[in-house]
Structure 1
Amino acid sequence: MADNAIGKIRNWQWTAAKTWRPQAYYEQNDWRATWNGEGGGILINQASHHIDLIAWLFGMPQKVYAHLKYGSQRNITVDDDVTAVLSYANGMSGVFTTRTHDFFGTDRLEILGDKGKIIIENGDSMNMKVFEQEEQLWSKDLDISAFKAIEENAPRYQEKVFEFHDRGQNPYVNIMKNFSESITENAPLYATREDGERNVELINAIYLSDWLQREVDIPFDQSLYLEKLNKIMEKEREG
């Protein structure tokens, strides 16, 4: 993407549902899956890592529209099912879905560009298909007969498959080592404070969109978000 290999990004879609959790998981500790103890559900816990990658790969969206379900399949008060549509100033759009009640699970990220497509499955393989020129250029010259025969005479593209294997490295150890080296050796951080703030802002925008049941601009009204959150927390405390 940094090298513009698949051209200008049009759309992306990420189904991140390899986050199945049984009821017993939530009952390990009182703070789990509560607004007062954890600050949210799957968005603030498991899917925060996906949201972080979304902001890193595609930047911050201009608008967010979200639909969340709270305790839909588990006895919890927070979100366990999320669908969010993100719109960007450059015309790009993205859809993110995640849930904790899908035992079979799916982890699939598709990124569509003018010149090709990237598909990442389960975080361990990537398929990239790249046209010789932008789709809007080669497709405009197709007549109807060529269109009907497209499956037999597909436009030329290059395809590459990349495999990623677990090297046995502990990511938590690497992160803590990087943090300590940033203090002792002035090493650049893998993830900065700004990265974290951006991640939280996007998560909060998704929550606020669902609470208001409308599309939310980014940046959004932080005081309105806190007002809504505090009411939800108070209601949870009252039981």
Structure 2
Amino acid sequence: MAKKYGFGIIGAGMIGGIHAEAIKGLPNAELVSICDNVPGAAEAFGKRYGCQSECELDKFMSRDDLDVVTVATPSGLHAENAIAAARYGKHCIVEKPIDISLEKIDRMIEAHAKAGTKVGGVFNMRYDHTAKLAKQAVDQGRFGRLTFGLAYGPWWRDQSYYDKGGWRGTWAMDGGGALMNQGIHTIDMLQWLMGPVKKIHAFTKILAHERIEVEDTASATLEFANGALGTIACTTSMWPGHFRTIEISGDRGTVAIADNSFFFWQFADEKPEDEAIRREHVHFPAASVGASDPKAGLIPDNHRANFADFLEAIEQNREPTISGHEARKSVEIILAIYRSAQTGQTVEL
């Protein structure tokens, strides 16, 4: 009989709920506990999802039936919770960003390597059907020479979003703004499809919010290691917010994605399946996912696929597809954007 993995979640907020829903749908997983330092939040979460609740991290980690910990806390606490999981011999999945400091990410990866446990990140967009098809086309060389990539996140968050979170919009706990919190999924997709980034020149500003320390608007020009150019533009200052866009172009093809749908799919070497892809997947989505409401369109399906791959990695004793090293890449890009914006200089990675 296949092993059933006991999961525990740290963080009883909105994303913790998505983790719980994702775990519920896995046949080889069971949610056994929630940990949150707010007693009422932990207890309410436990009742809602049918698991034990705990406010003390040591007691939570000491459970014999706990195999995998998922971290859904404020971003600035990710590494310390993941390192604690390694100390107790637990595998760990960390919500994006895997942390806000490269030094802390490296310590997290090292802690799990020494403990013999797995650590991985969450980039659920990679598990969407459009992402898989685009990546397959890249790997097949259908774009020819890659020439340009665009990651565009034109979103809106009102001031209350930052005010009620407490930690949101702070360097210490959020690690950044429109890039580190909202844009990181789109940035991860861009580097996953286009390849490593070599150089960055960027600007960041606060244009539409008060009482935040971090950027609500950012623009960066990129040079990739393969010679292609690109642009990242992310914001939480564009009312009312609309489709997150990723475009990948080469001298033999172009693909453009709006949220979870294609709005362009065209290659010089037309194949029979291309028309089927256009017929089934090319359209503008009826509503944008998270453009103005953080909860809008959030479904657990792609998180579930992300978690399923992690469990498969444990079973097969391999690295998760989104390993700690893989999840680090987008954070490195974002921190380079911040350095460029602060210094006015082009930054080399």
TM-score, normalised with respect to structure 1: 0.71
State the SS of the aligned residue for 2:303. Answer: helix
Describe the SS at the equivalent of 2:255: strand
Could you tell me which residue of structure 1 aligns to residue 46 of structure 2? none
Counterpart-to-counterpart distance in 2, 1:117 and 1:7: 10
| Matched ranges for 1:143-222 at <5 A | 161=278, 162-163=280-281, 169-184=300-315, 186=317, 188-218=319-349
Deviation, structure 1 residue 74: 0.8
Greater relative CO, 1 or 2 (CA 8 Å, sep 6+): 1
Shift of 1:78: 0.5
Partner of 2:208, secondary structure, is: coil
- The structure-2 alpha-carbon separation of the partners of 1:9 and 1:36, relative to structure 1 and needing over 3 Å to count, comes to same
User: Residue type matched to 2:158 in 1?
Assistant: P
The one of 239, 246, 250 aligned to 1:113: 250
The 1:190–1:94 alpha-carbon spacing in structure 2 relative to 1, beyond 3 Å, is same
1:140 alignment counterpart: none
Contact 1:12–1:94 (CA under 8 A) maintained in structure 2: yes
- Structure 1 unmatched ranges of 5 or more: 134-157, 219-239
Residues 172-218 of structure 1 show CA distances to partners (whole Å, capped at 9, x for unaligned) of 33333443443355365130111122121111111101011111111
Out of 178, 189, 193, the residue aligned to residue 57 of structure 1 is: 193
Residue type of the partner of 1:91? G
Q: What letter is aligned with 1:213?
A: G
> Given the two structures, how large is their TM-score scaled by the length of structure 2?
0.50
- Could you tell me which of 264, 268, 286 is aligned with 1:127? 264
Higher helix share: 2
Cα RMSD (Å) of the superposition? 2.5
Q: Distance in 2 between matches of 1:36 and 1:193?
A: 21
Take 1:29 and 1:169, find their aligned partners in 2: how far apart are those partners? 22
Runs of 4+ in 1 over 4 A off after TM superposition: none
Structure 2 stretches lacking a partner, 5+ long: 1-137, 286-296
- Mapped partners of 1:104, 1:201: distance in 2: 26
Query: Does structure 2 conserve the Cα–Cα contact (< 8 Å) formed by 1:115 and 1:130?
Result: yes
Structure having the higher Rg? 1
Contact 1:26-1:32 within 8 A present in 2 as well: yes
- Which of 40, 59, 82 lines up with 2:218 in the alignment? 82
Match of 1:68 in 2: 204
